[in-house]
Every structure is written in C-alpha cells, then in structure tokens.
Structure 1
Amino acid sequence: MRAALIFPPQWDPRHPPLAPAVLAGALRSAGAETRIFDLNIALYRRLLMPTGPHGIEDFLLSRLLNPHSLCNAESYLQTCQQAQKIFDERFDRHGTGRLFWDTCGGLPSAVTSRGWQDSVHSPEKLIFLRHLESEIAEIRQWTPDLISISAISDTQLAATLALAALFRRALPDSRIILGGAAITYRRSILPAQAWLRSTIDAVCLGDGEPLMTALASGVAPNETPNSLSWNEAGAALFGTAILQDMSFLQPPDFSKFPLKEYLTPHLVIPVETARGCPWGRCAFCIHPVRAVTGRPLYRPRPMNLVAAEIAQHFIAGHRRFLIVDEALPPPRLRELADIFADLPEPVSWIGYSRLDAGHDREGFIRARASGCRKLFIGVESGSDRILTRFHKGVDAARARRVLLDAAAAGLAVHSFLMTGFPDEDESDRQATLDLLADAWPAFEPFGVSFDLFPLTGELETDLMANPPAFGWKGPQRDARNDLAWQFPLSHGPAAAESLAEFKSRIHKLADRVLGPAFGLRHASLAQDSLHLLLLEARTRKS
C-alpha cells in the first residue's frame, strides 16, 4: 500500500511536526510504502523564494538559518518580523488571506459548517494553494492508496478540507482520512456532519496508529478502529475504540521529512514520552481520549523505549529536543533528566509541567544539569478561590514554592495565565500579580515569559458539562459557531478592554521587577522551540 501523509498549512515552519512522523512509524512497521508531504514548510519556503537576483529573501534566509544570528535575540527576532512581512504580502496578493509565523487569517471559518463547506466545495478560492501546485501535482502523480491529512490546529482546517476535496476529485479511488487534534476535539459534534462523506472516507477520533495499521492490512475505512464514517443514509458509524499500547509504540520516523528545509538554525526534535495529562481534572481542559469511566487517561511510554528513541535521534545528529507531553510529573522529569544526562554529549531540551507537589529544587537541578532550559507551566491564577473552584489541584503557596525552586535551579519558566473567570474580581487578579511579584525576581530576567488567555469553555470538559456549577450560563450555539470546540465566557468590547488592562498590569509588573532590558517576554513568542534556541545561544554567549 502507498500512503501519503500530508501536513497542511498553517503551522509554525521552524520545526518538523510529530504527528506525521508517528503515523509513518506505524505504517512502516505495517509494511506500507510511505511518503511525507509537509505542505506547510513547502508553502513558507515558496513564499520566501527570491523574485530576482540578490533579493532581500536570500539575506533574510541566511540570517534565519545562521546559528550565530541567535546570539543577538532582538536582532534575530527583527529578522523574523521582516520575513513575516514577506509571508503576509505573498500569501494572498488580494489581501484577504493573512499569513504569519504562528497563525493565519482571512480563510473560511474553522468554527462553522458553512466555512467547512466553503473549503470543500470551492477549494480554488483558497488562493494560497496555488503556491503548492507542484506539490499537489506530485501527490496526484504518485497515486497513493491512502491519503492521511493531519490537522493539529484550527489554522490548518481550511487547507485540510480543500486538499481533501482536490484529491477526492483527482484520485477517487484513494482512501482519504482526516485526523489530528483539530479533528479529535470535535468528536462529539462531527457525527452530524454526514455531508463530509462525499469528500472523505473517515476521520480519526483517537490514537491514529490502530487505524493506520488496520488500513494497511486491508480493513475497510468504516471498519477501522478509532474511526468515524457515515453510511449511504448519513448515519454515523463508529469504529471500535482501541487505545494504543504504549509498550508497543513504534518510534516516530523522521527519515522522510525535508529536515533541511525548516526555517531554523538548529532543528528541535519533538519527543513524546506520554499521552494525556497526569492530573486530568482541570474543569476547563479538553481531554478527548478517555477511559470507559469517562476520566481522562494518562499513558506513559516505558522509559527504556523513550531512552532508545532519544539515543537514535542523538545518533542521527540531533542535540535539541521538545518534550511534547501535556505535563511532566516529578518522577518522569527526573527519569528524563537522567536519560539526557547519560548521552555522550550535552544536549538542550524544554518541556511542559504542572505545579505538582513532588517537584522540588533537587529535581529541577537534575533537569537543568541534563540540558533542560525552560519549562512551560499552567499557573492560570494566583487566587486560591479560583484554583479550587476549577479543580487545579494546587494552591498559591505551592505555586510560589515550585516556581522559586525552578528559579533556584537556573531554569526559565513560561507561565500560562488565565483571566475572565466567572465572578473574578480585583482581589483575584491581585492575587495573581502578587504570585508573580514574589516569584519573578528569583529568575534570570531574559528567560521569563508568559501568556494571558481569556477563559474559554471547551467541549467535553466539566465546565461545559455543568456551566452553572462554575457560575456560567453556558455557550450560545448557532450557525456562527456550530463547529466550534471553544467558547469564550466573556464577549464584546468590555471583555477585550478588561483583558488588555490586566495584560498591561502584568507587563508593568514584569518591567518593575525584572528591569526594562529586552527579554523573551517582549518577543510574544508562541513557538516553543525558539525559546530553547535563544536561551541556549544566550548561555553560550555569556
């Protein structure tokens, strides 16, 4: 069987995506002939091609790919901004579509069935796909038996649907499967979208490996595990739910990726050591893959398999890693630190964590000594009232202690913060500011960064299941959001002004306690791996 694994735009073009590599590993073990088509990096590269001799594009590309450019973070980020202007100008010369490093705009809506139908029925209206004509033609000419399109973000949905429609017309005998988080998050509302049947054969609603290996062995799409499809009458058909056994998980296969094409001085390789969240109780976090009891699952891989995968990446020449797990619990952080510390040469890595009680200075010191540069942590709020109400499983006192232990170990921390909770008042916001004021002075200023998000209700969460229990009336669903999986709790100019005002207060606090010198908090970076590269370059420079 020939399998084409497609990663559509838009996603950050600075590191390879994990999802197609995971599927490639599973299909390779099943004996399928597999090719990776990263149309996202192909688009960015096409837009950055020179339009004439000695163009600015060559200069910008050389700067983007030069490791020495990272030594001056402010200058490097200015280069990124100049490149972004080119992406945006050339993405859609009519000015309707917009393209940036970490998002895009002006495309058919990702949250309405009308927007999805527009992408399917009129793919030629996505003008930026013209930049990918040669890649699309190459896929058609290869005539794959299976076309799998992975959409891990809503920014990829318009291209995902348009590509599916184009390939259905050109390759009617190919089986077309959609998957990824942007699909899985909608598992409860997609069964009603039977019109998709004319364009795709199935969507993946869980682990992709069981579905892919079943297809490779000849199972019909509507009989594959973890799938959703529709019969001729439009009735939804669900495949058997199967959880991938993490003890038999095949290592991801990056060998077919265009690794030299990514717009980064150093590749940062994504590594998955577990699936799901070890806490899994926060009232606002979506966890689509659940046990029969309804509780979210945490499924760690055996550490010997993680160590073997990292060793293979090291042999292949990779020295920088992004651990993509939702959160590293304390024992796993220590075990992972030992794996990295045992490698023949120093490496750098980053990951995500929670404010778990078991995290302590000794564990963070081990992580830092093994090459960990930064942890991304869901702090959310400094208000014990809000933390308790939304089941965070942590209080402000523990948050202070864990953050100060991380700072003492020399780690940088990115804090994910939230506002817009029902009944949130000034005392709650001040509690968050007090927490940050206590913790931030202990950190090296350059590495401190944060995001402030408005609280949203997400499908399949406690907040959505019982809104009144959290002081919310619940979402208003209509044709403007019938395929949304997130719903803002606050709307309108007043909510936007409140968010901006609180963000301004946090920035002023940061300037007061950290100083006015440039740091990663000024960069508005959504891209995790660039945090790693800039921190690493700063450390080596000093």
Structure 2
Amino acid sequence: MRAVLVFPPKAGATYVPLGIASLAPYIKARVPDADVRLIDLNIALWHLLAIEDPEGHDLLAFTQGKAGQFLDHGQTRYYKQVWDRLRRRMTHVGEQARLYLETGEADQEFLSILGSQVDPVLSLEAGFVGISVLFPEQVSFAAALARALKHTLNIKGLSRVRIVLGGAMMSAMPVTELLEAVPEIDAVVCGEGEEAAAALCEGRPLNAIPGLIYREGDHIRINKKAQTLSLKGLSAPDFSELPLDRYFNPVPVLPVLFSRGCAWRRCRFCSHNFSFGGHRKKEVRDFVAEMAIYTQSLGVRHFYFADEYITPDDMDAICQEIMAQKLNIHFHILGKPTADCTQARLALWLAAGCRWIGWGIETGSQRLLDLINKGTRVEEIESVINHSASVGISNLGLMIFGLPTATDEDLDLTLDFLSRTYPSFSGLTASAFVLFEKTYFARNAGHFGMRIEGRTPLINSQGRVVRSFRLKFKEISSDRSLRTPRGALEVARWQRFRKWLGDLPLFEQLPTEHYLIHVSASESPLKDPSQDETDAQPI
C-alpha cells in the first residue's frame, strides 16, 4: 500500500516537520512493501504566499542565503516586516478555512489554495492518507483538506482511501467531536502514531488497530490504547524526502528528539504529557549517531532538540558523545534552571555545540514556583542564567504571567527578578497562563480561585462545534465576584516595564532556526560582514 503522510499549513512557522519524518522509517521497517511518501503542505503554502507578495521573492532569496547578508541585523529586521506580512495572510487563509468548514463557502483565494493542496496528495494515489496535526491553528486546515480530499475521492470512486488524523493536537481535544463534525475523517490516532500507521499500511481492519478512534456507521468506536514504544533501536527520522532546500533558512536546520515525555512530569499547569505514554529515551550513542548521519548525508550542522526536557546528566552524556564522535555541530535545547546546571557543566555543553537554551523560568515568585510544582528556586535560577551567559550560551527566558492565585506582590517579585537578570538574556517570551483540562489546576479550579466556563472552540463544522481541552475561566474575587483572568494584564504591565530595561532584542523576534544560526555565526560557514544594526535597507 502507498501511504501519504501530510503536514498541513501552520500559521507563523515554516520549520521541518519531525512527526511525519519519524513515522516513515517505522512503517517501512514494519511493512517492507509499503510505499511511504511525505508532503509538507505548510512550506508549499508559505512559498505560494511569498511568490504572490511584491517582496516575497526577495524574502526567499534573503532567508535562503541566496542574496544579501543573512546575518546582518539591519537586513534581518527589514525582512521580518515582509515575513510578518505573510503571517497575516496565512492567518487570513486560516480564517477562510474555518468559514469553509462552517458554511461550505470561502473566498476564491482559499478555494484555489485548497485545490493546490489537494492535487499533490491525490496524484500519489495512496490507500492511506495520514495528516499530522501538532497545533490548534492546523485543525481547520487539516479538516478542510480532509473534506476536499474525500469529496474528490468519492467522485473518482475511491471512497475506500482512508483519511486519518494524528499528531499531538489529537490528544489536546475531544476527537469524538471532530469525527462527528467532520465525517470526511475516517479515524483519529491519539498518542504515538507509529503502530497505528503501520497497521493501516498492512490493511488491518480499523477495529483491530490499537490507539484508533474511528467511525462505524453512525457510531464512534474507541479501540484500546497502543502499547508504549521503546525508543531503543527505533529507526532515525528520515528527512530525505522533504524539500530541505525550500525552507526559509540559508543552511539546513533539523529537529531531533532524544526522549519522549518529560523527565520531571510534575508541573501542575502542563498538558504536554497527554501525547505520550511516559518518559523514555534513546541510547545516547544512537542519538548522536543520528545527528552524525544527517551531517554526512544531508550536510546538516544545526539542530534543535524537540525534547520537553533533558536532564543535566543526560545532557552531559550527549555532549561527551558528540565530542567523542568529533561532530562539529550547533544545537538548541529546552532547559530547567536547577542548581545542578553548574558553570562547569554549561561550559561542557557549549564546547559540544550548545548555542542557546530556552529556560523554563515561568515566574520570579518563589511562592508561585512552589505552587506550580516547578522544582526550582529563584536564587538558583538567577545563578544558572548568569553562569550560562558567562560561558557564552545565549539565554531565552520562558515566562508565564497570571499563574493561579498570583498577586501584585508576585508580579513585583517577577519584575525585580527580570530586572536583575535582564543583561544575561538574549530574549524573553511572555505568555498569559492557560488552563487545560485534566491538569492539576483544572481538577482543583475552585480551590485556586477559578471558575471554569467551558472549553475553547476550535472549529464549527456542519452546525457542530469542535472544542479543545483549553478551558475558558474566570477568577473568583475575594467578594465572590468574577473577573477576567489577570494573565493578559500582567503581560501588558511587563511590556510597559521592559521598555525601561532596553530595546526589544533581535533574537527574541526570530524563529528558532534563525536564532540558532545567528548565535552560531562565529563558527558558521556563513560570514557576517557587518554588525551595523542601523542599516535597514533591503538587498
């Protein structure tokens, strides 16, 4: 059977999809006669929008290193304006996708785009089409694609072709609602998709495929969960079928994954663990060997680790193996700023190629850190951030404002913390607290002064609303009245406050891949001929 694995459009991002690249080798190993093809409809749509923009060709030439000076800060800022314009257009296309699902109508631009996305999938004459959905913004695109695909397949008498959705987002929403609202979707895979995808390629009946939720007549059937996969001996993702030269980077940048799940797994606000069956990791030597293969076969020297969290001990082992295998690479990780991230340890990571770390800081209030069960101390966080900067690693601080029970005093402590550490950061993200179903805070909402008002709608299809597990809520005041959650207000106060600390850093405004390339520039094949940030002229 021929399987086509599709990554649908995603507003705001143009990165290489790890999910479908990971499924392909597993299917081929389990079903040797399967013909697996990968299609990244996201990058295809970004190219289409770029070509239609007056400066889109210039943007492509600049981001792909074909013209201009990619590392020049002035040019980078100029072309960010063009990219932002494309993002707004992508957002509009997403709104049209939702309109198409709700009414069957949309503007001519969207219908033309939808046709351009359907054609390459149909041309491959697959028996199984798998659509990987990672983010909420992709749900409308994926559902619209499924509807258009199934309509054309039925006209051609190919109704037996199965359309199945998977990916992390399927664990963050009630998929029975999705199947009821979008009957063109035959089934959904919740959790890890390798076993189900292989079984579909084998032609097994839907009721015999673990982890599958599917429609049978007027009923929705839920199969038993799939077994948790061991990562030891699992085939490395295969990126060779993806158009690496079409992404918006001057050199290839690939995502890699050492572990699944979170090694900490105790943060009370986090919903990421719903997609996985527990924390597992690969053998260190095998993981580093994967990167060595990509370096040799695809010329890749830049990687971002997609792990939720790698422990310092595991990072030490990975870095020592990178150095033992003499890999000349640069990479980014997500980190937890605990006391065991010592200056010596961070220096080791730098020597192995770590160029920037996104630190899960969340807040500068120790009371709130304890409340969310982060397992960190404010004074230790401050020390780690300063040590990381001192050894030469770029720091991005990940902050959450408006955590449950937060007060003005907590916010003042956070602003004081950021004031002290600001020189050690290359950028900061500011997110308002989001409440997700099934988390500790959702299960105990009343105890933490919150009243849940329902799930957040994703799409409306044929009169049926599909919601996510993200919850709408109000905060309960001391007099029992209800008020808007303070997260947005805290973010606004931070944005006003930070103006006193300095200009908005460039790196904070860059996508992950560009951030990594910029901070790796001193050892990169790219040369930065100018550090003049005042030159904001186009190429």
Shift of 1:344: 4.1
Give 2:40's aligned residue.
Answer: 38
CA distance in 2, matches of 1:478, 1:452: 21
CA distance in 2, matches of 1:361, 1:465: 39
Shift of 1:427: 1.8
SS at match of 2:514: helix
Shift of 1:216: 2.0
Relative distance call for 1:155 and 1:129 in structure 2 (3 A) is farther
Give 2:338's aligned residue.
Answer: 356
Shift of 1:539: 6.8
CA distance in 1, matches of 2:58, 2:177: 50
Show CA shifts across 1:297-319 (max 9, x none): 21111212202211111112110
Matched-pair contact (CA < 8 Å) for 1:457–1:463: yes
Give 1:254's aligned residue.
Answer: 239
Relative distance call for 1:376 and 1:72 in structure 2 (3 A) is same
Matched-pair contact (CA < 8 Å) for 2:415–2:494: no
Give 1:396's aligned residue.
Answer: 378
User: Of residues 437, 440, 448 in structure 2, which corresponds to 1:462?
Assistant: 440
SS at match of 1:483: strand
Shift of 1:449: 0.6
Shift of 1:504: 2.0
Matched-pair contact (CA < 8 Å) for 1:150–1:180: yes
SS at match of 2:451: coil
The answer to which structure, 1 or 2, has the higher relative contact order (CA under 8 A, 6+ apart) is 2
Matches within 5 A, 1:413-428: 413-428=395-410
Give 1:106's aligned residue.
Answer: 95
CA distance in 2, matches of 1:440, 1:219: 56
Matched-pair contact (CA < 8 Å) for 2:167–2:192: no
Give 1:26's aligned residue.
Answer: 26
Give 2:471's aligned residue.
Answer: 487
Relative distance call for 1:454 and 1:282 in structure 2 (3 A) is same
Relative distance call for 1:384 and 1:87 in structure 2 (3 A) is closer
User: Of residues 417, 434, 437 in structure 1, which corresponds to 2:416?
Assistant: 434
Shift of 1:13: 5.0
Relative distance call for 1:342 and 1:76 in structure 2 (3 A) is farther
Give 1:533's aligned residue.
Answer: 517
Give 1:211's aligned residue.
Answer: 196
Q: TM-score, normalised by structure 1?
A: 0.85
Matches within 5 A, 1:86-97: 88=88
Matched-pair contact (CA < 8 Å) for 1:288–1:460: no
User: Of residues 359, 384, 406 in structure 2, which corresponds to 1:377?
Assistant: 359
Shift of 1:462: 0.6
CA distance in 2, matches of 1:107, 1:538: 43
CA distance in 2, matches of 1:227, 1:123: 31
Shift of 1:127: 4.1
Shift of 1:391: 1.1
Shift of 1:88: 4.2
Relative distance call for 1:478 and 1:14 in structure 2 (3 A) is closer
Relative distance call for 1:121 and 1:467 in structure 2 (3 A) is same
Residue identity matched to 2:73: A
Relative distance call for 1:220 and 1:9 in structure 2 (3 A) is same
Relative distance call for 1:13 and 1:86 in structure 2 (3 A) is closer
Normalized per residue, which structure has more strand?
2
SS at match of 2:518: helix
State the superposition RMSD in angstroms.
2.8
SS at match of 2:219: coil
Shift of 1:85: 2.5
Matched-pair contact (CA < 8 Å) for 1:225–1:240: yes
Matched-pair contact (CA < 8 Å) for 1:287–1:461: no
Matched-pair contact (CA < 8 Å) for 1:6–1:39: yes
Matched-pair contact (CA < 8 Å) for 1:348–1:373: yes
Residue identity matched to 2:310: L
Residue identity matched to 2:17: P
In the alignment, structure 1 residue 178 sits paired with structure 2 residue 178: no
Give 1:94's aligned residue.
Answer: none
In the alignment, structure 1 residue 287 sits paired with structure 2 residue 272: yes
Q: TM-score, normalised by structure 2?
A: 0.86
Relative distance call for 1:493 and 1:248 in structure 2 (3 A) is closer
Matches within 5 A, 1:55-204: 56-66=55-65, 69-85=69-85, 88=88, 98=92, 106-107=95-96, 119=101, 122=104, 127-131=109-113, 133-171=115-153, 172-186=159-173, 189-196=174-181, 198-204=183-189
CA distance in 2, matches of 1:368, 1:69: 26
Give 2:255's aligned residue.
Answer: 270
SS at match of 2:119: helix
Matched-pair contact (CA < 8 Å) for 1:223–1:239: no
Residue identity matched to 1:65: Q
My pick for the range that moved more, 267-276 or 451-460, is: 451-460
CA distance in 1, matches of 2:302, 2:123: 36
CA distance in 1, matches of 2:241, 2:352: 29
